[in-house]
Structure 1
Amino acid sequence: MPQLSILPQSFLGLAGLVLAGSIAFQLSIWVYNAFFHPLAKFPGPKIAAASYFPRCWTGIKGTHLQWVMKQFDRYGGDVIRVSPCELVFRGDASKDIYGHKANLLKDPTTYRPLGNEAATILNANFEGHARQRRIFSHAFSDRALKLQEPIFREYVDLLCANVHRDIKENNGVATANVVDLFNFTAFDIMSDLTFGKSLDQVENSAYHPWVLVMFASIKLGVLLRFIRFIPFMPDKVMKQREIHKDFSKNRVEKRLANPNPRPDIWGLTMSNEEGRGLSKPEMYGNCRVFMSAGTETTATLLSGLTYYLLQNPAKMSKLVHEIRSEFKTKEEITIEKLPSLRYLFACLEEGLRMYPPVANGLSRTTGLSSVTIDGHVVPPNTTVSAANYPTFRNPKNFKRPNEFIPERWMPGNKDFESDRKSSFQPWSMGPRNCLGKNLAYHEMRIILATLLWHFDLKLCEESNGWPDKQKNYIVLWEKQPLMCRLRAAKR
């Protein structure tokens, strides 16, 4: 009997020792990370240096960008440590991280394919990326863009026709959420280019269910980055991802089964011999990449730029005058002529600086060697990034960084000669820079120029302070409605 009373106490004592040992071990890791780790010399909050919790928590909440900005304000300098093994830069670090000579690998915690998915142009290794980029370049060339112009034109004209109808039905003024207008148009254009058929969002003035699933999938990607035990993700969450994948697969199969030689992505890609070497899983995966990278980002830039133009009436008037003076009819607004509008280009650049679609940095890893980034020696096995939003708002890079001043991008403007334009890389740089950059510029020009040719816009009072209400999930701004009143332009 005495042994029965001793056994539980011995067991409790052993359990206590194990618990105490575990706590001591975890504390030792936190202390090491905060004070003795190779990254300990870099500024940043000690709790973030010790533990991944702040990085994960702010990432999941969509507040990581705001948290990073607060840390830069607190510590100053152009680099901060945001987790035990991660540095974020805001100086002029893009060349050292993404440039042709950098050779830094994409961070596998962010870009690894999930499960047995095929690697895409977004997450393939150096050789795989080069092969896929070479194949798809035919669909994103200047020649391709000229062939694709009627596709752009169709949906932009339909958008404007819908707004004119709403204006007529509402006594000369329509009230609309322009975030939706830009999303509808960008998704219909890219769906036509990617699947050979639009999602009919502009026509129906409503989101296609697949687009809503895609937005959820982007947020899911953030969760998967920070939650290590993926099998324990809720079934509903994982099911959304499967719906997203299945829809893309079925749409690609329908397009490939159609022999119509349209100048869309698959028509131009499959017309060359190397393109026919793509595997079906590579096709499915890349179409999802194109539908996310080529849509929401364009709509985001146009939404942010519209807000800043409406908050700066003199800038808006100058842009409207340039557009309406250059084009007497809507048919004159073409991809070939739009690049000659210098102030339009300046506004797009300033919009990208003030409200970059990819606000956080694209992460890379230093691998097995130390590297020098923006003058800092960074040890091996460190995740690094040049975060666009902090970089573009850095007063060391741009004079009056928090003001919307398109004139800084006009040639010969000496007031902003001190701006460090080399730090401005919204499309990334090097061998993995954005393949669709030219397409995006043409699309943004034709949508914005056509809209401002047709309509006068005014910001509704409830949308004042619109950028301050956003959450950000790595590559997704969770945007609130941007309400505007639209009237037909007087001629």
Structure 2
Amino acid sequence: MTTLFRVRKSKWVYNVYLHPLSKYPGPKFAAASRLPLAWALVTGNNIRWTTHLHDVYGHVVRVAPNEISYTDGQGWKDIYGHRIGAKSSMTKHPGFYSSAVNGAHSIVTAPDDADHARGRRVFSNAFSDKALREQEPLFRKYVNLLIHKLRLKLQDDPNKPINIVNMYNFTTFDVLGDLTFGEPLQLLETSEYTPWVALIFDSIKAATIFSTLRRFPIFENLMKALLPKSLRQKRREHFEYASDRVKRRLAQDTKRPDIWTLVLRQVEGKGLSDEEMHANAAVFMIAGTETTATLLSGLTYFLLKNPSTMAKLVTEIRGAFAADEDITIEALARLEYLTACCEEALRMYPPVPAGMPRVVSSEGAIICGNFVPGGTTVYVSIFATNHSEANFKHHNSFIPERWTGDERFASDNKFAFQPFSYGPRNCIGKNMAYHEMRLILSKVLWNFNLTLFSEMDDWAHQDVFTLWQKHPLMVKLTPVRGP
């Protein structure tokens, strides 16, 4: 034991004083060992911890012996952008991005640039503006159902608080379930989570813990030995549910404008294997649902905490449309203050708040003006970047006017704001997310006045396991017009 301690002590001293990253600022205990970062990750405290470190040490922080976090906007270009003249791009960290249960990769996890580009080409048409216009009736169908269900709840008890988080989740899962599988999940109809959707929420936290342990090799074998069979089974059940429904959808002869109709139009031989289709479907049902519902929940909360902002937005929405059926995706895209509120919510409460790790290629790279040796894990920490005083004036305040040309915020570093990531691997569903969030929020605010229950004042203080662990957001709804 004494010998082991001496070895570890020697390693800690090397990491702090002699390691190639020893010149980078950060706490010595994080430079010495990966345990502080691991603890922050598995306890859900990583976002608060990382943001605090950047507040203390600045734009660049060494958060582990071989890991650097950035809040400098230049980091988006240097880490995630096209690297002109480089021998190879920075790869996604294999401990963070793992393949699906069947061993196939999705466009989110693909480690190889060529495989990612092939998959992205296949799906680009399905997420284009043209496709979204074709799919608008499907979006409107479920958003109208959301409004109908909210009215029914008020008929039962006008004063009963409604958990708007659940209602947003029901809507986004129903929309994407129909787009991805060609069949409804019926969450809005039943006003409750199906066992499979509940399983998704349960698995996100577990997946974060497992990916954390995979990034620490000394724990990997222990993890494999101690990992409960029930957790492994949950991961497999989620994948099998998604893949079975994709098989059923692909067996249909239909021209409905969903994701797979557009994917199957691709030239034979340049598309995806069945295994890749199944892997992508499983990813879509998390990446395209929970994230949009999270943004809507955060946006609703910040609007209710800022009544004058809410009043200004409501005036814009209700003044733009004479009737509910006039609210269209195209018309909503022209509402400047609505878009500004969405942007500010993405800044304050980004659905994916942590950094998305990349590994520096073997020849090393210049990041934010300094050389970083090959093999180093690097990323831009999204929440910390968005809440950096160096990037945004009044950085902890919800002020949509910063996105409408207000001169008070002329010094804001808008490029640092990249909620959908940056470069060739940025989020392919960005346009869909904007259209969906604008449509859902506008329909709710056109039909109802909202009041926040006082117990919700600290709602945004949440743990993070890759995604926010959202609390119920209880609101009172008051109809402003009849059905």
Q: TM-score range by the shorter chain?
A: over 0.9
User: CA deviation digits over 1:229-254, x for unaligned, max 9?
Assistant: 34221111111101111101111111
Q: What does residue 472 of structure 1 align with? A: 464
Cα offset, 1:353, TM superposition: 0.3
Residue 220 of structure 1 and its aligned partner are, at CA, apart by: 2.3
Please give the per-residue CA displacement for 1:373-402, whole angstroms capped at 9, x wherever unaligned. 122322221100001110011111111101
Task: Tell me which residue corresponds to 1:15.
Answer: none
Instruction: Output aligned runs, 1:302-341, within 5 Å.
Output: 302-341=296-335
- Counterparts of 1:179 and 1:113 in 2: how far apart (Å)? 30
Q: Give the fraction of aligned pairs with identical amino acids, expressed as a percent.
A: 47
Aligned AA for 1:97? I
Q: Does 2:255 correspond to 1:261?
A: yes
Secondary structure in structure 2 of the residue aligned to 1:120: coil
Query: Is 2:342 aligned against 1:342?
Result: no
Q: Does 1:453 align with 2:446?
A: yes
2:64 aligns with 83
Q: Does 2:469 align with 1:487?
A: no
The equivalent residue for 1:155 is: 142
1:243 aligned residue:
237
CA deviation map 1:161-204 (0-9, x unaligned): 0111121222x445211110111101110111111112111111
1:112 aligns with one of 60, 85, 98: 98
Structure 2 SS opposite 1:38: coil
1:404 to 360, 373, 398: 398
2:49 is aligned to: 67
Quick one: which of 358, 362, 365 aligns to 1:368? Answer: 362
Once the two structures are TM-superposed, the CA of residue 116 in structure 1 deviates from its matched residue by 5.3
How far apart, CA to CA, are the structure 1 residues paired with 2:163 and 2:376?
A: 42
2:32 aligned partner: 50
Deviation at 1:275, TM superposition (A): 7.8
Are residues 1:29 and 2:11 paired?
A: yes
Deviation at 1:217, TM superposition (A): 2.2
Output the amino acid matched with 1:68. T
Q: Is the 8 A contact 2:348 2:383 kept in 1?
A: yes
Cα distance in 2, alignment partners of residues 23 and 116 from structure 1 = 41
For the Cα contact (< 8 Å) 1:163–1:174, is it kept in 2?
A: no
Cα distance in structure 1, aligned partners of 2:421 and 2:401: 23
Q: Kindly indicate whether the alpha-carbon contact (under 8 Å) linking 1:269 and 1:275 is maintained by their aligned counterparts in 2.
A: no
Alignment-derived partner of residue 6 in structure 1: none
| Aligned counterparts of 2:100 and 2:338: Cα–Cα separation in 1 | 40
SS of 2:109's partner is coil
Q: Which residue of 1 aligns with 2:280?
A: 286
| Partner Cα distance (1:275, 1:341) in 2 | 42
1:194 aligns with 2:180: yes
| CA-to-aligned-CA distance 1:278-322 (integer Å, 9 cap, x gap) | 111101100011111100000110000100000000000000010
Question: Is the CA contact 2:122–2:271 (under 8 Å) kept in the aligned structure 1?
Answer: no
Whole-Å separation in 1 of the counterparts to 2:100 and 2:265: 30
Quick check: 2:420–2:430 contact (8 Å CA) kept in 1?
yes
CA distance in structure 2 between the aligned counterparts of 1:159 and 1:220, rounded to whole angstroms = 30
Q: Structure 1's 330 and 173: CA in aligned 2 closer, same or farther, altered over 3 A?
A: farther
CA contact (8 A) 2:393 2:412 kept: yes
Q: Output the CA distance in 2 between the equivalents of 1:130 and 1:310.
A: 41
The size of the alignment, in residue pairs, is: 468
The partner residue of 1:145 within 125, 132, 149 is 132
1:113 Cα deviation after fit:
2.0
Structure-1 separation of matches of 2:301 and 2:370:
37
Q: Which residue type is aligned with residue 453 of structure 1?
A: W
Query: Equivalents in 2 of 1:273, 1:20: separation in Å?
Result: 64
Q: Which of 1 and 2 has greater Rg? A: 1
Residue 184 (1) aligns with residue 170 (2): yes
- Counterpart of 2:407? 414
SS in 1 for 2:427: coil
* Residue 301 in structure 1 maps to residue 287 in structure 2: no
1:370–1:380 Cα contact (<8 Å) kept: yes
Question: What is the alpha-carbon distance in structure 1 between the residues aligned to residue 358 and residue 187 of structure 2?
Answer: 36
The residue number in structure 1 matching 2:189 is 203
1:31 maps to amino acid: V
| Whole-angstrom distance in 2 between the partners of 1:285 and 1:219 | 19
Deviates more, 1:369-378 or 1:82-91: 369-378
Partner SS, residue 316 of structure 2? helix
Whole-angstrom distance in 2 between the partners of 1:338 and 1:221? 36
Length-normalised TM-score, structure 2? 0.94
Length-normalised TM-score, structure 1: 0.93
1:119-161 deviation line (CA, Å, top 9, x unaligned)? 1101211000000000011111111101100111111101100
2:442 aligned with 1:441: no
- CA shift digits 1:330-372 (9 cap, x unpaired): 1101111111100000000000000000101111111212212
Q: Take 2:36 and 2:242, find their aligned partners in 1: how far apart are those partners?
A: 35
**Conservation of the 8 A alpha-carbon contact between 1:60 and 1:222:** yes
| Local SS of the residue matching 1:111 | coil
For 1:275 and 1:163, how far apart are their aligned partners in 2? 47
Within 1, Cα distance between the matches of 2:102 and 2:448?
Answer: 49
Where does the alignment leave 5 or more consecutive residues of structure 2 unmatched?
214-219
Give RMSD over aligned pairs: 1.5
CA deviations over 1:55-90 (Å, ceiling 9, x no partner): 1111111111111122223x3310111111100011
d(CA) in 2 for partners of 1:138, 1:430: 18
Q: Report the equivalent of 1:14.
A: none
